[in-house]
């Protein structure tokens, strides 16, 4: 036996044919990209929905906290008018 014969035997296993169907890598990549985009949009919608529900819970009465209305600060003119009305009511009654 010569050294050439073992080399031929080693080459044969490397020449195995791949699948007979051609693979279009570009179309496969596009399909994967579209699927990823679709999943990303669904996750964004779900996240937005959860944020909206959380905001409604915090602002609503279901949060358990008591919310008081803010009191308007009285201006000096409003105070003077209120005092005048109170004096007139006291003087008349």
Over the stretch 38-91, which tens digit does the pLDDT of each residue have?
A: 999 999 999 999 999 888 887 776 555 566 777 888 899 988 888 888 765 554
The C-alpha atoms of residue 56 and residue 54 are separated, in whole angstroms, by: 5
Interatomic CA distance for residues 76 and 61, integer angstroms: 35
Extended beta strands in the chain, E state:
none
Give the whole-angstrom CA distance, residue 93 versus residue 77: 24
Mean pLDDT along residues 5-10:
54
Residue 93 DSSP one-character state: -
Sign of the torsion angle spanned by Cα atoms 39, 41, 44, 45: negative
End-to-end CA distance of the chain: 134
Grade residue 93 by pLDDT with cuts at 50, 70 and 90.
very low
Q: Which residue has the higher pLDDT, 31 or 6?
A: 31
């Amino acid at each position: 036996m010569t050294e050439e014969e073992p080399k031929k035997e080693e080459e044969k296993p490397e020449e195995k044919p791949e699948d007979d169907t051609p693979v279009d890598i570009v179309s496969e990549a596009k399909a994967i990209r579209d699927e990823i985009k679709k999943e990303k949009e669904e996750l964004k919608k779900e996240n937005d929905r959860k944020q909206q529900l959380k905001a409604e819970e915090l602002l609503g009465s279901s949060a358990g906290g008591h919310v008081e209305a803010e009191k308007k600060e009285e201006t000096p003119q409003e105070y003077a008018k209120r005092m005048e009305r109170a004096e007139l009511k006291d003087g008349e009654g």
